[in-house]
Every structure is written in C-alpha cells, then in structure tokens.
C-alpha cells in the first residue's frame, strides 16, 4: 500500500534520529532547562530574526493549542476562529474543556476574512448586554489552513491589525508551517510571521520530528508563569531535551525547510496529474494537502492501493478525500500514485 493519508506516518527524519542517538548517553537537567534545548532555541531565534524571542517546546499540536489559548485568553473570553479551524472541529472540545468557548466565523477555503472579524467584534461591543456574553479574547488561525491554503503576508497582517484593534493577541498554529512557508506563491517568511503574530508555533510532528512543537513569543509578551500553565495542562515533558534535540537537528543547515519543500514538490506533481486526468480539485491549495472530490467507484479503486484521508461526504455519490504528501514522500512513491490515477 502507498501511504498518502497524512504527514506524520513515519517516525522521524534520519538527522533527527541521529541527534537523539547522539545525546542518548548523556545526562541532562529536566523540563527543558538543559543545554540541548538552549542550543535549539538559539537556532530558532536566528531563523526568526528575533534574538530575544521566547521559545518553548511542547509535545503535540492539540496540547499546544490548548496551552497557548488558555494562557493568552482571559477567563471570561473565548477564541475566535473559522468554522473549519482545528480547535472547532478536530480537537474533541479541548479548548472548551479548558474553559474557553470557541467563537466561529465563516471560512473562505479555510481562511479567515479580516473584515468579517472586524464586523464580528464591532457587533459584539455594540450589544448593550455584551458584559453578559463571552468576549472575543484572542484570534486563532493556522498557517497552512485545514484545507492546505495559505495566508499571504498582507492578509495575515490585516487580521493582526483587527485583532489588536480589539485588544486581542493573534495566535498562529504552525503545525504545518514548513509546508506553508515553502509553498509556491507564498510571500511570507518565518521572519515575517514573527513580526506579525503575537505568538505562533513551529510544527515538528508533521515536518520531520518524532514529536514536538516549538512555541515562539516574539513581542516580550510571554504570559506570566507560562511554565506553570504548561505544567497545569500536564504538558511539561520531564525529558525536555528530547524535544530540544529534534529541533536542533531540524534547524541545522535549513533542514526543516528543505524537507518541507520536498513534500510540496511531490504534491505539485500530483496536483498537475489530477488536473490533466480530469479530476475535480476541491480546494485550490499550494501545500502538501490535496483535496479531491471522488466518485465512489474511483474512490474504491484507489483505496485498494493507496491509503487516503477521509474529509467529508460531498453528496450521495461523491466524497472529498485528502491526498497528503510529507517530508518523507519519495519521487518513486509519487510516480506510483500518479500511475494509479
């Protein structure tokens, strides 16, 4: 079987495994207070162009979203995201579980519209009873989106401007950040993101790491006692050096972006083949996630040879499926999938 169901089905990039092996005979302090983590943080700060950025390592994406949103959102407020946003759909109510309502806006191919965000907040504060309601307390977007689409620099800055107009921080989920920033047509760099967002994270789990996400605060705005908040969520890894080692490898010699670019190049080839063969692409997206609307006979035929990701039923006769390349996808695997199409 070919594996195109997700971008985290292989253990880790060999360089990451080599780094873990290299530190395996050492002994280190716990909870991320070690030289391995400090070295990785320094490399991330350099890559962001923010020498004073505050970097924290967590284990997984949902955990990271819950911890960050809880830390930056007042107790009386919720998080504003689009209907398709990960906290609203695929996190089993983790945000609500930590005490913050998810407030949703319509999505446009997975993306938030800054004008609609402005209108939502203006309407909230125009209501004479707003103090009886859940305040909009922070804004969450993901780069790339759930549908593989990407925010431009101008688009994300417009959202940040609206968020700050209403005294809300902008949090950018970067679970697939490497794929977004190396996608064809993306005009944003890691440094641009560090300038625009109040906090974001660099996803490792889906971009070459065994596990791990790197949270980055860029404006001297780390919530007070953030380590304690992480601990309260059960998210403080005692062997924090295991996270630091992986990001140290990923941010050596531009590895993180090189392997992400590989996934996009494979996805571009598959997209082109789908279009040439007359398939219906559900979303116009440039990253490693390809959404295609399949009739049931085609879906059944392909799934005899390829593991794909289910997205949603389009109608009684069609299903939206996801083809997902990864840092580990090879040209040979890409060729085999194209032949099957």
Q: pLDDT category, 32, cuts 50, 70, 90?
A: very high
CA-nearest of 201, 244, 205 to 31 is 244
Q: Is the dihedral of CA 265, 267, 269, 271 positive or negative?
A: negative
Residue 194: per-residue pLDDT: 98
Yes or no: say if 145 and 110 are a contact pair by the CB < 8 Å rule.
yes
Residue 154: predicted pLDDT: 98
Of the candidates 44, 3, 1, 20, the residue with the CA atom closest to the CA atom of residue 325: 3
Task: With cut-offs at 50, 70 and 90, classify the pLDDT of residue 162.
Answer: very high
- What confidence score (pLDDT) does residue 195 get? 98
Distance CA 243, CA 74 (A): 29
Alpha helices in the chain (DSSP H): 14-22, 35-48, 61-72, 86-89, 94-97, 114-126, 153-165, 177-181, 190-196, 226-232, 241-250, 255-276, 296-302, 331-340
- Give the model's confidence band at 45: pLDDT under 50 very low, under 70 low, under 90 confident, else very high: very high
pLDDT digits (tens, 9 = 90+) for 247-295: 999 999 999 999 999 999 999 999 999 999 999 999 999 999 999 999 9
**200-233 confidence digits (pLDDT tens):** 999 999 999 999 999 999 999 999 999 999 999 9
**In the predicted model, what is the mean pLDDT of the chain?**
97
pLDDT digits (tens, 9 = 90+) for 1-10: 999 999 999 9
CA distances from 177 to 149, 158, 172, 173, 188 (A): 11, 19, 9, 8, 11
Measured CA to CA, the distance from residue 110 to residue 11 in angstroms comes to 28
Instruction: Give this prediction's pTM.
Output: 0.96
Torsion, Cα 207 337 144 64, to 10 degrees, reads -40
> How do residues 293-331 score in pLDDT, each as one tens digit?
999 999 999 999 999 999 999 999 999 999 999 999 999
Inter-residue contact 73 to 80 (CB < 8 Å) = no
- The structure tokens listed for 37 are 């983590």
């Amino acid at each position: 079987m070919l594996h195109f169901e997700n971008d985290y089905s292989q253990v880790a990039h060999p360089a990451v495994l080599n780094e873990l092996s290299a530190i395996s005979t050492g002994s280190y302090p716990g909870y991320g207070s070690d030289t391995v983590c400090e070295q990785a943080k320094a490399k991330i700060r350099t890559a962001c162009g923010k020498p004073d950025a505050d970097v924290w390592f967590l284990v997984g994406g949902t955990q990271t979203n819950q911890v960050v949103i809880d830390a930056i959102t007042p107790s009386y407020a919720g998080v504003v995201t689009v209907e398709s946003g990960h906290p609203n759909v695929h996190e089993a109510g983790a945000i609500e579980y930590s005490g913050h309502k998810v407030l949703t806006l319509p999505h446009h191919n997975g993306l938030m519209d800054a004008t609609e965000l402005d209108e939502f907040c203006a309407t909230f504060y125009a209501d004479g009873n707003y103090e009886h309601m859940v305040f909009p307390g922070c804004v969450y977007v993901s780069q790339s989106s759930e549908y593989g689409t990407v925010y431009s620099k101008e688009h994300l800055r417009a959202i940040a401007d609206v968020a700050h107009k209403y005294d809300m921080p902008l949090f950018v989920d970067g679970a697939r950040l490497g794929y977004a920033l190396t996608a064809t047509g993306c005009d944003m760099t890691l440094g641009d993101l560090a300038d625009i967002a109040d906090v974001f994270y660099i996803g490792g789990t889906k971009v070459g790491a065994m596990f791990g996400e790197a949270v980055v605060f860029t404006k001297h705005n780390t919530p007070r006692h953030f380590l304690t908040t992480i601990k309260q969520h059960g998210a403080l890894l005692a062997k924090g050096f295991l996270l630091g080692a992986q990001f140290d490898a990923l941010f050596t010699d531009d590895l993180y972006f090189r392997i992400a670019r590989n996934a996009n190049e494979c996805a571009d080839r598959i997209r082109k083949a789908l279009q040439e063969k007359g398939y219906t692409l559900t979303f116009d997206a440039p990253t490693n996630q390809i959404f295609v609307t399949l009739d049931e006979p085609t879906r059944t035929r392909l799934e005899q040879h390829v593991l794909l990701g289910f997205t949603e039923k389009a109608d009684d006769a069609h299903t939206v499926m996801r083809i997902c390349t990864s840092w580990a996808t090879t040209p040979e695997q890409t060729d085999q999938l194209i032949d099957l199409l």
